[in-house]
Structure 1
Amino acid sequence: MSTVKVRAIVTTGYGTNCEREMAHAVKIGGADRVDIVHLSDILDGSISLKDYQFLNLPGGFLDGDNLGAAQAGAHRLKYAKIKGKEKRLIDEILEFIERGGLILGICNGFQLLVKTGLLPGINGDYTTRLVSLTYNDSGRFEDRWVTLKANPNSPCVFTRGIEYLEVPVRHGEGKFVTLNQDVLKTLESQNHIVFQYVDPKLGEPTQEYPLNPNGSELAIAGITDSTGRIFGLMPHPEAFTHRTNHPRWTRMDLPEEGAGVQIFRNAVSYLRQS
């Protein structure tokens, strides 16, 4: 049996509001230690990513979504220097990736990953911004449950063994778009696409609203980098950790543990084996 102790960090501050849900999901997923840490504590040097293997970026409204969702937060990650060190926060994150750490960004956390350029990370490029998340086609905040289909050919370590997943979305800027068609084709051909919104009756990706709640290109709900160790998605698996979270739990025969936990179990399992 592996003796690796999995230490996870969940960031908070500047407008995040899903950190407790995410920390709870990571703990249920099997992590030995889960710390909720304010980003300012990393920036002032009192907390270091070197002490963790699993970085979680939760949902919320970073900086009030000023300039666009997570845009101001992305500038903080890219340009803010860590006190007492001649390096930026993004440099510490890049070192974290190089050491083999896992990064999960959900909703606002996903927006943060794409706007810093950490995703899609094509061929190991974590600095070039190639994709974004913009306003939903509906023109309003979407709060509903959706069905996702996982790409079995994706290298994503978080979705192993998952075929379909039903979880909620709650966002106003969740439409996945790419810089151009070449980027979209690369994401598809290199299996960076992890989850797509699907019609639950047909089990296939759809552009039909509200099954695709935001109008994302190719119905993309989540993507990974080339290594499969960085994963971002708009829907909220951390919001489905118990059967009573499901809106139809009284009418369905559901297991006690919510299906969203598997995302976190997979992450912890990967780290124990690495």
Structure 2
Amino acid sequence: MKTAVIQFPGSNCDMDAVHAAGTVIGQQAVPVWHTETHLEGFDAILVPGGFSYGDHLRSGAIAAHSPVMKEVKRLAEKGVPVIGICNGFQILTEAGLLPGALGRNNSLHFLCHDVHLRVETTNSPFTNQYQKGQIIKIPIAHNEGSYYADAETLSRLEGEGLVAFRYVTPEGNEVLEGNPNGAVNNIAGILNEKRNVLGMMPHPERSVEKLLGSTDGLAVFESLLEHVAGGVK
């Protein structure tokens, strides 16, 4: 599997993503500068976290118009798996690849700590190696991570099983105490209608080795590898 890791001015999780999608699972991950317009030959695309363009205007707004994003959109429409993590999630919503928006945390503070997620679906290229309902621990690091969408969009996401991850307590309860940022319906990650685009605020690339304190994010990359290898849809 060959993964393109898109780099923007201000990206700071790009090399973590290269390590997770490349070294850790024994595959190839290549940093790609945002001015690139040709991504043919890549099996997957990863839009990493950070502060693209210093979060000017709003998080992800400028990066969404970088030259590379036209190619990301084109390949996503062809079915190539695309994952946006943290700022990458913000970029994907700004680019129209995912519905909704990410707003300020309800605490109005930057948050950086572990959270618990419940895996809501295994029917995607990014979650097929998890168990539905599995509780995992993955860190967050964001200032604008509160997911919001209108009622119609939320109804569709919930009804079509497009919520990938949800914030919960360690016991798996979907309550206010388990929601770090005020995201509507405790949503931590969503899929597009074709299920080949995932956006999530928590950082799975920071939970792929025991040295990091958790390997709960590893299955995201193992799932992607399984999908690309043709084992699952």
TM-score by length of 1: 0.79
Q: Tell me, which stretches of 5 or more residues in structure 2 are unaligned?
A: none
In 2, the alpha carbon distance for the partners of 1:191 and 1:213 equals 22
Contact in 2 for aligned 1:207/1:218 (Cα 8 Å): no
> Does 2:139 correspond to 1:160?
no
Alignment of 1:81-230 (within 5 A): 89-120=68-99, 131-152=100-121, 155-162=123-130, 163-178=134-149, 180-201=150-171, 203-208=172-177, 211-230=178-197
Cα shift readout 1:110-152 (whole Å, capped 9, x = no counterpart): 00011111014xxxxxxxxxx0001000010001100000113
CA RMSD of aligned residues (A): 1.7
Contact in 2 for aligned 1:147/1:198 (Cα 8 Å): yes
In 1, the alpha carbon distance for the partners of 2:226 and 2:90 equals 26
Partner residue, 1:49: 39
Stretches (4+) displaced over 6 A: none
In 2, the alpha carbon distance for the partners of 1:260 and 1:194 equals 13
> Does 2:195 correspond to 1:271?
no
What is the aligned counterpart of 1:19 among 14, 34, 59? 14
Displacement of 1:158 in angstroms is 0.7
Q: Between Structure 1 and Structure 2, how many residues are aligned? A: 228
Q: Tell me, which stretches of 5 or more residues in structure 1 are unaligned?
A: 1-5, 81-88, 121-130, 247-253
In 1, the alpha carbon distance for the partners of 2:71 and 2:6 equals 14
Displacement of 1:12 in angstroms is 1.1
Whichever of the two has the greater Rg, that structure is: 1
Contact in 2 for aligned 1:194/1:224 (Cα 8 Å): yes
